[in-house]
Amino acid sequence: MKIYRSIALALIIVLFMPVNFVKADKLNLNATCAIAMDSSTKMRLYEKNADMIVPMASTTKIMTSLVAIKYGNLDKKFTVSKRAASIRGSKVGYKSGEEITLRELLYGLMLRSGNDAAICIAEGIAGSTEKFADLMNEYAVKIGAFNSHFQTPHGLDKDLHYCTAYDLAFITSVAKENKVFNDIVSTKDVTAGQYSFTRSYHNINKILYQIPGADGVKTGFTGKAGKCLVTSVKMNGHDVIFVVLNCTPRWKETKRMYDYVKKNYEYKKLVSKGEIVYSKNILKGENKLKLASPYDIYIPCSKDKVYSKKIIVSKDIKGPISNTGMIGRIEVYCDNKCVYKNYLLGNILTK
C-alpha cells in the first residue's frame, strides 16, 4: 500500500516541563557587541548588539582556519613570500623563502595570531589574498553567515571587512565541529618536535588559563575594531561560544559573561534519541504514523523562563513517503518565540 502526504501542516502543542523560577541577573557588558551562544542549538544565551556590523580584527582568522582546513592539505609545504614576511602587526617571524607546512602555519595563525601565517596560507591555497578572501566569502554564505564580509585573511582594518558578534559565534560553532581546528585552538603549547615543526609555539590566548573548561578560540586587536575575543567553553559537556567585540577589558568581561550563563542557565534533556514524540492513526485508521528524534535533544534553559514544544507534522498524507522520511519537526518556544527547531524522522506502521 502506498502512503501519501500533503504540504499542509498542522501544529500539535505539548507543554515542556518548566524549570524552577529564579530571577536572572541583569548583565551589561563593557563591550560594543557581545553574545553567548550554545554551539549546538545556536540559541542566544546573552546578547548585546549581536547583529551590529563591526570590524573584528584577528578573530577573522577563525574563518581563515576553517577555509584552509577545508581546501588545503595539512602536510603540504608553502613558501613564505616577501609580502607575508613583511606584513605589519602580529607575526610569527617567518622568513621569506622558508617552507612551512599548512599544519604548522595554522598553529602560527591561531596560537601566535601570525599575519605572516595568514598571508602564506592564503597565497598557498588560492594564489593570492584576494582570491582567498573570495573563498572566505563564498563559504560564509554557504554556512549561513550572511552579515559577514572578508577582504583579508588576517583581519587588519579594511572598509569592507566586517562581521557581527552573532555571525562570529556561528562561524566558530561550525569550526568547532572540526577536530583539527579544536586540537589547534585548545593547545597551550606545542614544541617543534611534536610535528616536526620549524619552531615551537606558545598560545597568547590568556582565556585558556582563566576559565575552567575553556578550549579556544581567538584574540584580536586593531585600531578600528578595538580589543576582541572569541572563546569556547565546555559547560556540562556542551560547547558555549562567547564573543566580545571592541571590549577593552575583554578577559574580565568574557569571564563575567561566562559566570552569567553558568548561574542563569542549565541544560535540560528535551527528547531522547529514538523517543516517539508523536503517534497517530492515519488513512482511516489503517496505518499508524510515528515520529521520533534521531538524536538526543538538549537545550540550555533559562532558570526564570517556561518552555513549550510543538510537534509539526503533515495535516493530510497524500504523497508517497519512505519509512524513515523527514516528515515532521520539533520546535521549542520561550516567551512565544521559537528558540530551537529541528527535524523528526517518520515511521509508518501498517496494521
Delimit the domains of the chain by residue range.
9-19+269-350, 50-211
Q: Mean pLDDT throughout 159-168?
A: 98
Say which residue, 25 or 286, is predicted with more confidence: 286
More confident: 16 or 282 = 282
Name the residue with higher pLDDT: 321 or 5: 321
Cα–Cα distance for residue pair 59/155, rounded to 1 Å: 7
Domains 9-19+269-350 and 50-211 in one fold: no
Is beta strand 189-190 parallel, antiparallel or unpaired with respect to 214-222?
unpaired
Work out the percent of the chain whose per-residue pLDDT is above 90: 74
Residue 54 is given by DSSP the state B
The pLDDT score that the predictor gives to residue 292 is 87
Active site residues: 58, 61, 113
- Quick: pLDDT tens for 99-139: 999 999 999 999 999 999 999 999 999 999 999 999 999 99
CA atoms within 13 A on the CB side of 326: 5
CATH of region 50-211? 3.40.710.10
Residue 126, class by beta-carbon neighbours within 10 Å (0-12 exposed, 13-18 middle, 19+ buried)? buried
Residue with the larger pLDDT of the pair 158 and 307: 158
Pinpoint the alpha helices (H) of the chain. Answer: 61-71, 82-85, 102-111, 115-126, 129-143, 165-175, 179-185, 250-264
Please report the pLDDT score of residue 9 as a whole number.
Answer: 41
Residue 100 confidence (pLDDT):
98
- The cell 578600528 sits on which residue? 224
Instruction: State the cell numbers at 160.
Output: 569592507
What is the maximum alpha-carbon separation in the chain?
76
Kindly state the cell numbers that stand for 192.
617543534
Q: At what angle do helices 115-126 and 129-143 cross, to 10 degrees?
A: 90
**Which DSSP state fits 229?**
E
Mean pLDDT of the chain: 89
User: In angstroms, what CA-CA distances link 273 with 93, 268, 297, 310?
Assistant: 50, 14, 8, 17
CATH class as words, domain 9-19+269-350: mainly beta
Phi, psi of 22 (to 5 degrees): -135, 125
Element housing 287 (H / E): strand 287-292
Tell me the pLDDT band of 346, cut-offs 50, 70 and 90: confident
pLDDT of residue 345: 80
CB of 250 within 8 A of CB of 244? yes
The tens digit of pLDDT for each residue in 220-249 reads: 999 999 999 999 999 999 999 999 999 999
Minimal CA–CA distance to 256: which of 266, 242, 246, 239?
Answer: 242
Cα–Cα dist 350/310, whole Å: 26
Average confidence (pLDDT) over 161-180: 98
pTM of structure: 0.89
Residue 345 C-alpha cell reads as 524522522
CB 327 within 8 A of CB 299: no
CA 108/CA 86 separation, integer angstroms: 16
Does the pLDDT at position 283 exceed 90? no
Strand-pair partners of 99: 79
pLDDT at residue 55 in the model: 98
